Amino acid sequence: MGNIRSYLVSITFIFLFIAPFTISIFLSESNTKLYYLLLVFCYGLYAILNIKGLISKIYVKPLLLSVVFLFFGVVNVIVKGELDNFFFVAPIITYFAYYYVNNNRIKSKVMDFYIIFLYIYYGIVYYATLPSLLIHPELEDFFGKASSNAIPLTLNISLYAYMILNKYYNEKNNRKIVFFASLNLVLILIQQSRAGIVIAVVILLIASYEYSKKLALKMLIIISVLSFFFITYYYHQILEYIDIVGTVDTNSIKDDIRGEAQSAFFQKMSFQEALFGYKDGDFAGMTYTYNNFLDIWNKYGIIPLIIVSLLFVYRFIFYKLFKYPLYYFVPFFVYSLVESRFFPNFWDIIIYLMLFALARTQTSTVLNKKSQSQNDKVISTI
C-alpha cells in the first residue's frame, strides 16, 4: 500500500507541476479550461490541507520570491488596468511545488514513464507522419495551439526537471538520464529546432558529466567532430537556412524576429513602461521579446527583474553553499536568451530548487508523518 501511495504522490506532482503546459498543448480550448479549473481546485485543496507547513519559516526564501512576483503582479494590475490570472497564480504554484518536493520523494520510475509516454505520443502524432527524416510538412500550427517546436521544448524541460530532481534526492539515475538525453538529441535533430538542439546538447553534456567525466569528454569530442563534418558537408545549405548568417551586423540582427522584438521593446519605452512594462504587454504589435528576462520586465516590472538578477548574482558568488553546481543553470540561461519559458510557468519549480536548495540539505529529514498524511488526503480527493 505504501508503494502505491508513493507512486500516486509522484504522479500527482507531475500532473500539477511539470506536465500542465504539455497537457494544455494536446487539449482543445474548452478542455484546457476545464483542466485549468481542475488544477486550481487541486492547488486550493493542497493549500488548505498544508497551510501550517506552507507558512513555515523554513521556506521563507522561496516564499519571499513568490511574494515579490505576486505583489508586483498586483501593482501592474493597478497601474495598467489589466489582469492576467496566470501572472498571479504561477508564483503561488511554484511555491506549492517547492513545498511538495521538500515533503515528498518523487519516484524516478514515474519520471521514466512520463518521458517514455512523450516519446510514444510524439512518435505517433508527429514523427510517424514525416515524409522523411529531412523533409517536413508545414507544421507551424501542428498541435492546434502550438507549432512542432513544442516537441523539443517539452522533451528538454521534462528531462531537465528529471535531472534536477535526481540530484535533489541524491539518486543514481544518471545512466538513464544520459540515455534519455541522447534520444532527445536524435529526436530534436530530426525536428530541426535550432534552440532545441543546442539545449539538448547542453543537457546531454551535463548528464554525461554527472555520470562520468570521461564519458562527458568523449561526448564532447564526438559532438564536436560530428558538428564539424555536418557543417562542412552542408555548408551552403546552412548559409541559406540560417537567415542572419553571412552578414552578421546590426541590420541583419534587427531583421531577425528576436532582434526585431528586443529592439522594439527598448525603442518604444517611456518612463512608466520602463518601470512597469507595456500595457497589454504590447510594443510595436508584439507581446513578447523572445528573451526571458526582458519578458519578466514586461510582465512584472523592472523591480522584480532587479531582485531576480541580484538573487542570481548572490547564488553565483556563494555557489559553494548550494546543492547545484553552476553548470546546471546553463540550459536555463541558454533558453532564456531565445525563448520566454520561465517566470511564469508551471515548471518554475526546477529553477527554485537550483536557487534555494542548500548543499547541506538532507531531503529525507524533511519528510514527516504529518505532511504525508496531509498529502494522502489530497491524493484521495484528486
Residue recorded with cell 520602463: 274
pLDDT tens-digit map of 17-40: 999 999 988 888 888 889 999 999
ω into 91 cis (within 30 of 0): no
- Give the model's pLDDT for residue 105: 93
pLDDT tens-digit map of 162-219: 999 999 999 999 999 999 999 999 999 988 888 899 999 999 999 999 998 888 898 8
> Roughly how many angstroms between the first and final C-alpha of the chain, as a whole number?
17
The better pLDDT of the pair 248, 120 is held by 120
Contact between 327 and 209 (Cβ < 8 Å): yes
pLDDT tens-digit map of 122-154: 999 888 888 776 666 555 555 656 677 889 999
Cα–Cα distances (Å) from 50 to 44, 47, 240, 265, 370, in that order, read 10, 5, 56, 41, 9
- Give the model's pLDDT for residue 208: 94
Question: Under 8 Å CB-to-CB from 186, ≥6 apart: which residues?
Answer: none
- Give the model's pLDDT for residue 252: 41
Average pLDDT along the chain: 83
Tally of CB atoms within 10 A around 121: 14
- Give the model's pLDDT for residue 255: 47
Q: Is the pLDDT of residue 55 over 50?
A: yes
Task: Determine the average pLDDT of the residues in 68-83.
Answer: 84
- Give the model's pLDDT for residue 142: 57
Run of H or E residues at 382: none
- Give the model's pLDDT for residue 282: 67
Residue of 47, 30, 40, 26 lying closest to 122 (CA atoms): 26
pLDDT tens-digit map of 256-293: 677 777 888 888 788 888 888 887 656 666 777 888 99
What pLDDT band is residue 234 in, cutting at 50, 70 and 90?
low
What pLDDT band is residue 369 in, cutting at 50, 70 and 90?
very low
Exposure on the CB side of residue 123, measured as CA atoms within 13 A: 9
C-alpha to C-alpha distance for 210 and 225, rounded to whole angstroms = 22
**DSSP sequence for 2-59:** HHHHHHHHHHHHIIIIISHHHHHHHS-HHHHHHHHHHHHHHHHHHHHHTHHHHT-GGG
Residue of 303, 278, 276 lying closest to 289 (CA atoms): 278
- Give the model's pLDDT for residue 284: 64
